[in-house]
A and B are shown apart, each in its own frame.
Chain A
Amino acid sequence: MKIRLLDIAHARSGDKGDTANVGVIALEPRWYPLLERELTRDRVARHFAGAITGGVERYELPNLGALNFLLHGALGGGGTLSLKTDAQGKVFSTALLRLELDVPDAEARRLGLPGAGG
């Protein structure tokens, strides 16, 4: 089944030059391994294809149930050079939470994911 990231994680984003960072945190600690497995660097790069000009890096923080993504070339030059409303990448957080993951039904039920029934 499709699980929207918004329903299993929260997030905050910020900037460093022309790079946006998005920290994604599992709403329940037991959902973190699913994020670590499914929310790969490539998956996130595909999600933001066309919206960023550079690559994507991913770092894991299992201690916080979190993944940190760096989205390079995301901010139209960044800082004061940028002409974007979101020049500081503040709402890349919820843009990432629009992403949908494919999760096997049985696993979704076992983990008690929202909308999985159960």
Chain B
Amino acid sequence: MTRVVRVASGQGFWGDWLEAPRRQADGGPIDYLMLDYLAEVTMSILQKQKERDPSLGYARDFIGAMESVFAAVAQRGVRVVANAGGVNPVACAAAVREAARRAGVSEQIRIGIVTGDDLLPRIDALLAEGHALANMETGEPLSTIRDRVLSANAYLGAPPIVDALGRGANVVVTGRSTDTALTMAPLLYEFGWRLDDWDKLAAGIVAGHIIECGAQCSGGNCLYDWRTIPDLANIGYPIVEGHEDGSFVIYKHPNTGGRIDVHSVSEQLVYEMGDPHSYITPDVIADFTTIHLERAGADRVRVFGIRGRPPTDKLKVSIAYRAGFKALGTLVYAWPDALEKARLADRVLRERLDRLGLAFDAVHTEFLGASATHGALAGPAGDVPEVQLRIGVRGPDRKAVERFTREIAPLVLNGPPSVTGFAGGRPKTEEVVAYWPALVDKRVVTPAVTMDEP
């Protein structure tokens, strides 16, 4: 029998199902447990937490996840790869170590810590050296928001994770690694693929893309024939069964719900896709138009034929910056003529905001139940039972946003009739931390691996 390497996805974002890591570790044999915690906005949330407490800044759910899989790691040789480190991988590793001590397994836990992604302390030096860190979408130079930057992290690829595995780590904690590297690195390490074997590296990236959102490829959020997808309450998260030649099978543990077929995998492949010819990562550019899918049994899909080519000399950088304040208020209007009443309330509220002289960068109104998600495409709503008025403002002036939050509740008594649903009190004003994608020369970023051993 040819050798296979099994990489199981146990978390698709910070906030995903707490049960999933343990179910993957205990539901059948696996070699690696891959946990993806970082979305674009997550780094900025973590940076704010670190500012308040220097021992924080990582995905704290990860500690509970580790506690639920320590037995598998310590006794059955399962290795964990996670980008849970956020903006503080060292503190994250220390928390894992402490949890391992409490669980009495510290002797068996070897943690590899990947750092080098944090560019925040170096931003001014980089700008001075001529790295513009311009916004990839708008072209604006970073200097326009320099004084509001909260965090800046380069997306690292697979090699430092491979290095950590090679040094014996059975738990690898990274900061801002790419989501796909978390899956590709174990395959690269186990099969000893060359770093210029573009097709195989691309295959590893595609495998990572398919399982990086957890159950979103195994029946979760799946539109195709959704009514017949069995037992979502017991959904199985996906596992990559990797082969040395770069082909792989997506499957899930037996006796779990959900569904893995060509349709569910196809939906995940197109998720957040840009130009399919060029899925750019630090290690390789994968061509999604070369992917072939075929059924390989019940809840098994074989993926093969993937082609790749050399990467660029840049790394993507995720920069978070303070971008003003926002608040959202809601009220519910009931039949009859619910939409008409909600529309009148919106006009009244806007007129009052104008008279108060409050200026915002954006004021946005939606009518949930009538047109919030599909807008005019939804067509006439008819005389629906109720409509939720949802109005939001965003602007640089916290005081103006806070004044807005006090203008919602009065409408209950001094606006249109048949209104309810205000029990939550005044809306909260929150600071907006926005995302600034940029590129930087690869040569200025040096990933590092340190080992935390018992």
Residues of A near any B CB (own CB < 8 A) = 10-19, 21, 23, 25, 27, 47-48, 50-51, 59-66, 68, 70, 76-81, 83-86, 91, 93-95, 98
A85–B372 CA distance with the chains assembled, in angstroms: 7
Q: A23-B270, A77-B362 are in contact. Are A83 and B434 (CB under 8 A)?
A: no
In the complex, residue of chain A having the shortest beta-carbon distance to the beta carbon of B393: A83
Please give, as numbers and ranges, the residues of chain B lying within 8 Å of A81 by CB-CB distance: 323, 394, 432, 434
Interface residues of B in 346-367 (CB under 8 A from A): 362-364, 366
In the complex, residue of chain A having the shortest beta-carbon distance to the beta carbon of B305: A63
List 27 A–B pairs whose Cβ atoms lie within 8 Å, in order of A's numbering.
A12-B221, A12-B271, A14-B272, A21-B270, A25-B263, A48-B377, A51-B375, A59-B277, A61-B270, A66-B266, A68-B273, A77-B362, A78-B435, A80-B435, A81-B394, A81-B432, A83-B364, A83-B392, A84-B364, A84-B366, A85-B366, A85-B368, A85-B390, A86-B372, A93-B223, A94-B223, A98-B377
Please give, as numbers and ranges, the residues of chain A lying within 8 Å of B223 by CB-CB distance: 10-12, 93-94
Encode contact with A along B422-454: 1 for CB under 8 Å, 0 otherwise: 000000000011110100000000000000000
Report if B374 contacts A (CB, 8 A). Answer: yes
Report if B373 contacts A (CB, 8 A). Answer: yes
A73–B133 CA distance with the chains assembled, in angstroms: 22
Encode contact with A along B330-342: 1 for CB under 8 Å, 0 otherwise: 0000000000000
Q: A25-B266, A51-B377, A83-B328 are in contact. Are A68 and B364 (CB under 8 A)?
A: no
Please give, as numbers and ranges, the residues of chain B lying within 8 Å of A61 by CB-CB distance: 270, 276, 288-289
Q: Is B271 within 8 A of A14, CB to CB?
A: yes
In the complex, residue of chain A having the shortest beta-carbon distance to the beta carbon of B288: A61
Please give, as numbers and ranges, the residues of chain A lying within 8 Å of B363 by CB-CB distance: 83
In the complex, residue of chain A having the shortest beta-carbon distance to the beta carbon of B136: A17
Report if B224 contacts A (CB, 8 A). Answer: yes
Which of B69-77, B81-89, B90-98, B290-298 touches A?
B290-298
In the complex, residue of chain A having the shortest beta-carbon distance to the beta carbon of B272: A14
Q: Is B373 within 8 A of A85, CB to CB?
A: yes
Q: Is A21 within 8 A of B274, CB to CB?
A: yes
Q: Is A76 within 8 A of B437, CB to CB?
A: no
Q: Is A95 within 8 A of B373, CB to CB?
A: yes
The contact of A23 among B267, B277, B376, B377, by CB within 8 Å, is B267
A-B contact sample (12 more), CB < 8 A, given A12-B271, A61-B289, A68-B273 = A12-B223, A12-B267, A21-B271, A23-B273, A51-B376, A61-B276, A65-B266, A68-B270, A83-B364, A85-B390, A95-B373, A98-B374
Please give, as numbers and ranges, the residues of chain A lying within 8 Å of B376 by CB-CB distance: 50-51
Encode contact with A along B253-293: 1 for CB under 8 Å, 0 otherwise: 00000000001001111111111110000000000111111
Chain A nearest Cβ from B260, distance in angstroms: 15
Report if B326 contacts A (CB, 8 A). Answer: yes
Q: Is B394 within 8 A of A83, CB to CB?
A: yes
A80–B322 CA distance with the chains assembled, in angstroms: 11
A30–B306 CA distance with the chains assembled, in angstroms: 23
Report if B137 contacts A (CB, 8 A). Answer: yes
Number of residues on chain B facing chain A (CB within 8 A): 49
Q: A16-B272, A79-B40 are in contact. Are A25 and B267 (CB under 8 A)?
A: yes
Q: Is A70 within 8 A of B271, CB to CB?
A: no
Q: Is A79 within 8 A of B274, CB to CB?
A: no
Task: Please list the 9 inter-chain residue pairs (A to B) with the smallest Cβ-Cβ separation, ordered nearest first.
Answer: A23-B270, A83-B392, A14-B272, A83-B364, A12-B267, A10-B224, A95-B374, A10-B223, A79-B435
Please give, as numbers and ranges, the residues of chain A lying within 8 Å of B344 by CB-CB distance: none
Report if B41 contacts A (CB, 8 A). Answer: yes
In the complex, residue of chain B having the shortest beta-carbon distance to the beta carbon of A89: B272
Please give, as numbers and ranges, the residues of chain B lying within 8 Å of A17 by CB-CB distance: 137, 435, 437
In the complex, residue of chain A having the shortest beta-carbon distance to the beta carbon of B226: A10
Chain B nearest Cβ from A72, distance in angstroms: 9
A38–B247 CA distance with the chains assembled, in angstroms: 34
A68–B224 CA distance with the chains assembled, in angstroms: 17
Q: Is A80 within 8 A of B323, CB to CB?
A: yes
Q: Is B137 within 8 A of A80, CB to CB?
A: no
Chain A nearest Cβ from B144, distance in angstroms: 15
Q: Is A23 within 8 A of B271, CB to CB?
A: yes
A51–B375 CA distance with the chains assembled, in angstroms: 7
Chain A nearest Cβ from B208, distance in angstroms: 16
Q: Is A91 within 8 A of B374, CB to CB?
A: yes
Please give, as numbers and ranges, the residues of chain A lying within 8 Å of B390 by CB-CB distance: 85
Please give, as numbers and ranges, the residues of chain A lying within 8 Å of B291 by CB-CB distance: 63-64
Please give, as numbers and ranges, the residues of chain A lying within 8 Å of B392 by CB-CB distance: 83
Chain B nearest Cβ from A96, distance in angstroms: 9
Q: Is A16 within 8 A of B274, CB to CB?
A: yes
A11–B44 CA distance with the chains assembled, in angstroms: 30
Chain B nearest Cβ from A106, distance in angstroms: 28
A33–B293 CA distance with the chains assembled, in angstroms: 18
Chain B nearest Cβ from A33, distance in angstroms: 16
Please give, as numbers and ranges, the residues of chain A lying within 8 Å of B274 by CB-CB distance: 16, 21, 70
A21–B132 CA distance with the chains assembled, in angstroms: 28
A98–B399 CA distance with the chains assembled, in angstroms: 42
Q: Is A66 within 8 A of B373, CB to CB?
A: no
A100–B272 CA distance with the chains assembled, in angstroms: 24
Please give, as numbers and ranges, the residues of chain A lying within 8 Å of B434 by CB-CB distance: 79-81
Please give, as numbers and ranges, the residues of chain A lying within 8 Å of B137 by CB-CB distance: 17-19
